[in-house]
């Protein structure tokens, strides 16, 4: 005996074989595909971001390395130049040093220290010197007589005579000293004009030292003081302005004290313009840096080892670069501001920085910004520490426009996302359409299989009666004539039913192929309606149904195909009976409405759900209520009714409520007389 599987196992096997399984599998695959696609896009986006960051970092690192190499090269070049400078004679060195210092706004200072001298190139650019050789003082005793008259006797006339005498001396130092004292006494003697002339004379003596200061400087300062006393304001201002400018242009070699004193004096009468102020702001740090170097030079001379080097120092809010090289009796140094650095050293790097789209910042050992400043810490930067590069600064290389990079990155991400969304949309839309097509196919398959079983069932009933009745008759087992007549009648009805069934199937086939021919003729609707309904009522009566016929007034005539119209009406009546298992009375009614013929078939049966009322006119479609009630049918009847009525220029309507009943109405236009 074959082994029988349990029921739930069987249903599981059947489910796996069913088309629904294929659909579920397909949807599952699509779901996995969509999930993989999302995961893939997420990964890709992440990877893209990482790659982009890496690319930017590489660019910054590359630029930082190139800049470092270039700066190191510059340092080694300077040192080589200084080494060759140290080997030169004093006069050659002066010439070469001037060449090396550069020109224009980015000028650097070359300072040469010797044991008892400091020189700066280009000349007249250093505001004050850390060391000046002491000038030989003219013999003080020469002026003693005049000074006794001036200070003790307060006899200015006598003093004037003495100093005027001395001012004719051949020795410029004596002459300058005498002129200074002569001017002073004339001033005291209220001879201002004469004093001015004497100071003019002293002015002509230029760099001749008077008390370790240039005669010219002393004369010009004295003139300013005198003019101020004489209330010649405009002249004081002009002369003080010139004095101030010359002081700041380094006209005289001064020490820090003298420079400060005279600069302050000049600014009593004159307010320097922005350009001069800027010059001082650059000049004072430079001069201070030279003082630092001088101290180093002194230490070196005491035996400390500071042979060569480079440093970035921060003085009064300015950064100053110092590069120096020494031998036993000289020290040569470059003293440069950030502008020199930018113009002479970094300008060659501009094209590279533009190409790589980077910016550079140099930060000194104490964290001061030597070049460029960052308002906020940039997201990405390449840093080269001074400890590893041996440069006097830490290099920071950042992107020139990090915002643009972010936007660019954002744009690419958006584009990628868009592409993924498009692909995902295509996949989803494709799956939707495929799923819909598959569902429809499945529905058709289901409907067709239902149809086959329904048709078989429809055939079975009349065939069974045919077989049974004909067997009884042929065996001669029906003795009574009346009974025999009844059986013959039964045979007729069964074959009639079969005939109608086959005819309607053939008719349906012709309709589907568009080959159904209608033979229209002018018909009296009353007789057609009554004959069909009465014939149906007789047949239904045998099944226990009652058909109420209501026909009111005269019906207009209609151009119609008798046979087709009869079939349509029969179908409606047949459905009314078939789907009314409880209430066994149906009603058929024909009226004239608005000049049209309205044929109504009403029942109080199962009714049809609203959402199905349109669907039931499609082929093979059957309402859920019909299936639930176990009523058999092919789902073709209403399709044919609609086809036939439409061919007559009319329409079919349905009014139905589940559990209450249905009314099907055929509206036919009346024939034109």
Q: Contact residues for ligand ADP (CB under 6 A)?
A: 571, 575-576, 579, 603, 605-608, 616, 622-623, 626, 633-639, 662
Instruction: Give min distance, CB of 671 to ligand ADP, in A.
Output: 28
- Residue 567 beta carbon to ligand ADP: minimum distance, rounded to whole angstroms: 12
Task: Please write down the HEC assignment for all residues of 609-640.
Answer: CHHHCCHHHCCCCCCHHHHHHCCCCCCCHHHH
Q: Considering the complex, state which of residue 177 and residue 650 has its C-beta at the smaller distance from ligand ADP.
A: 650
Q: Which is nearer to ligand ADP, 335 or 606 (CB)?
A: 606
C-alpha distances in Å from residue 608, one per residue of 585, 587, 601, 622, 639? 18, 18, 15, 10, 16
The continuous run of DSSP H or E covering 79 comes out as helix 19-86
Q: Which is nearer to ligand ADP, 215 or 586 (CB)?
A: 586
Nearer to ligand ADP, 166 or 586 (CB): 586
- The answer to whether 546 and 555 are in contact (CB under 8 A) is no
Q: For the CB of residue 458, give the shortest distance to ligand ADP in the complex, in Å.
A: 8
Write down the least CB distance from residue 18 to ligand ADP, Å: 23
Min dist. Cβ of residue 480 to ligand ADP (A): 37
Gap between the Cα atoms of 182 and 156, Å rounded? 9
Q: Which of residues 304 and 627 has its CB atom nearest to ligand ADP in the complex? A: 627
Shortest Å, Cβ 517 to ligand ADP: 22
* CB-based contact 86:327 (threshold 8 Å): yes
Indicate the residue among 469 and 608 with the shorter CB distance to ligand ADP: 608
Burial of 247: CB neighbours in 10 Å, binned 0-12, 13-18, 19+: buried
- Return d(Cα 605, Cα 660) in angstroms, integer: 6
Q: What whole-number distance in Å separates Cα of residue 551 and Cα of residue 573?
A: 15
Tokens of 562: 């008798």
Q: How far is the CB of 456 from ligand ADP (least distance, A)?
A: 13
DSSP state string for 183-240: HHHHHHTT-HHHHHHHHHHHHHTTT-EETTEEHHHHHHHHHHHHHHHTT-HHHHHHHH
Q: How far is the CB of 631 from ligand ADP (least distance, A)?
A: 7
Nearer to ligand ADP, 322 or 576 (CB): 576
Q: How far is the CB of 469 from ligand ADP (least distance, A)?
A: 25
Question: Measured from the CB atom, is 396 or 567 closer to ligand ADP?
Answer: 567
| HEC profile of 328-381 | CCCEEEEEECHHHHHHHHHHHHHHHHHHHCEEEEEEECCCCEEECCCCCCCCCE
The dihedral over CA atoms of 288, 291, 292, 296, expressed in degrees to the nearest 10, equals: 170
CB within 8 A of 399, min separation 6: which ones?
A: 56, 60, 357, 358, 359, 378, 380, 405
User: Closest distance between ligand ADP and the C-beta of residue 656, in Å?
Assistant: 7
Q: Do 50 and 56 contact (CB within 8 A), yes or no?
A: no
| Residue 588, strand partner residues | 549, 601
User: Helices in 381-401 by DSSP H: which ranges?
Assistant: 386-389
* Residue 383: CB atoms within 10 Å: 15
Query: CB-wise, 328 or 582, nearer to ligand ADP?
Result: 582
> Which CB, 322 or 638, lies closer to ligand ADP?
638
CB of 654 to ligand ADP, least distance (A): 8
Reduced to 3 states (helix: H, G, I; strand: E, B; else coil), residue 655 is strand
Least Å from the CB of residue 472 to ligand ADP = 30
- Closer by beta carbon to ligand ADP, 284 or else 608: 608
Helix (H, G, I), strand (E, B) or coil at 487: helix
Smallest distance, Å, CB 569 to ligand ADP?
Answer: 13
User: C-alpha distances in angstroms, 474 versus 168, 481, 483?
Assistant: 181, 14, 14
* 121, 110 contact by CB (below 8 A): yes
Cβ-based nearer residue to ligand ADP, 356 or 571: 571
Half-sphere exposure of 390 (CA within 13 A, CB side): 9
If the CB atoms of residues 131 and 617 are measured against ligand ADP, the closer one turns out to be 617
CA–CA dist 424, 435 (Å, integer): 16
């Amino acid at each position: 005996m074959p082994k029988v599987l349990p029921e739930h196992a069987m249903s599981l096997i059947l489910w796996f074989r069913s088309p629904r399984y294929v659909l579920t599998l397909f949807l599952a695959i699509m779901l996995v595909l969509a999930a993989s696609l999302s995961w893939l896009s997420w990964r890709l986006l992440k990877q893209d971001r990482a790659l982009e960051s890496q690319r930017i970092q590489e660019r910054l690192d590359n630029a930082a390395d190139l800049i470092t190499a270039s700066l190191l090269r510059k340092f080694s070049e300077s040192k080589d130049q200084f080494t060759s400078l140290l080997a030169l004679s004093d006069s050659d060195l002066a010439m070469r040093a001037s060449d090396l210092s550069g020109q224009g706004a980015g000028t650097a200072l070359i300072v040469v220290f010797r044991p008892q001298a400091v020189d700066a190139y280009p000349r007249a650019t250093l505001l004050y010197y850390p060391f000046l050789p002491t000038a030989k003082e003219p013999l003080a005793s020469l002026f003693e007589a005049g000074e006794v008259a001036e200070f003790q006797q307060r006899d200015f006339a006598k003093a004037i005579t003495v100093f005027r005498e001395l001012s004719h001396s051949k020795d410029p130092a004596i002459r300058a000293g005498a002129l200074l004292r002569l001017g002073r006494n004339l001033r005291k003697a209220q001879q201002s004009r004469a004093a001015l002339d004497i100071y003019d004379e002293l002015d002509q003596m230029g760099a001749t030292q008077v008390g370790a200061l240039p005669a010219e400087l002393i004369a010009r300062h004295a003139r300013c003081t005198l003019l101020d006393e004489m209330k010649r304001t405009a002249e004081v201002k002009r002369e003080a302005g010139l004095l101030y400018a010359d002081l700041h242009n380094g006209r005289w070699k001064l020490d820090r004290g003298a420079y400060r004193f005279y600069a302050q004096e000049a600014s009593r009468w004159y307010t320097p313009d922005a350009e001069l102020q800027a010059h001082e702001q650059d000049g004072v740090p430079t001069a201070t840096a030279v003082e630092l170097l001088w101290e180093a030079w002194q230490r070196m001379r005491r035996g400390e080892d500071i042979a060569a080097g480079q440093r970035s120092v921060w003085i009064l809010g300015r950064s100053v670069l110092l590069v120096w090289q020494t031998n036993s009796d000289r020290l040569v140094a470059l003293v440069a501001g950030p502008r020199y650095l930018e113009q002479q050293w970094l300008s060659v790097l501009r094209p590279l920085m533009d190409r790589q789209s980077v910016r550079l910042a140099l930060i000194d050992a104490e964290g001061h910004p030597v070049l460029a400043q960052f308002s906020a810490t940039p997201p990405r930067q390449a840093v080269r520490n001074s400890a590893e590069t041996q440069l006097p600064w830490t290099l920071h290389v950042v992107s020139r426009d990090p915002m643009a990079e972010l936007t660019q990155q954002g744009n690419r991400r958006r584009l990628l996302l868009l592409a993924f969304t498009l692909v995902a949309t295509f996949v989803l839309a494709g799956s939707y359409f495929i799923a819909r097509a598959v569902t429809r196919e499945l529905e058709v398959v289901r409907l067709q299989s239902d149809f086959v079983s329904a048709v078989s069932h429809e055939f079975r009933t009349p065939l069974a009666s045919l077989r049974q009745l004909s067997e009884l008759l042929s065996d001669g087992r029906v003795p009574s004539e009346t009974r025999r007549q009844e059986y013959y009648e039964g045979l007729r009805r069964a074959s009639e039913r079969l005939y109608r069934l086959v005819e309607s199937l053939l008719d349906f086939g012709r309709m589907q192929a568009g080959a159904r021919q209608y033979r229209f003729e002018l018909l009296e609707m009353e007789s057609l309606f009554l004959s069909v309904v009465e014939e149906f009522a007789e047949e239904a009566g045998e099944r226990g149904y009652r058909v109420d016929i209501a026909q009111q007034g005269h019906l207009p005539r209609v151009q119609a195909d008798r046979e087709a119209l009869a079939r349509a009406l029969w179908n409606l009546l047949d459905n009314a009976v078939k789907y009314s298992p409880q209430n066994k009375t149906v009603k058929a009614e024909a009226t004239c409405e608005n000049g049209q013929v309205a044929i109504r078939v009403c029942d109080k049966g199962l009714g049809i759900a609203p959402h199905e009322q349109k669907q039931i006119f499609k082929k093979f479609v059957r309402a859920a209520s019909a299936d639930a009630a176990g009523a058999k049918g092919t789902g073709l009847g209403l399709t044919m009714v609609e086809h036939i009525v439409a061919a007559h220029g009319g329409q079919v309507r349905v009014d139905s409520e589940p559990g209450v009943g249905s009314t099907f109405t055929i509206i036919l236009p009346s024939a034109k007389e």
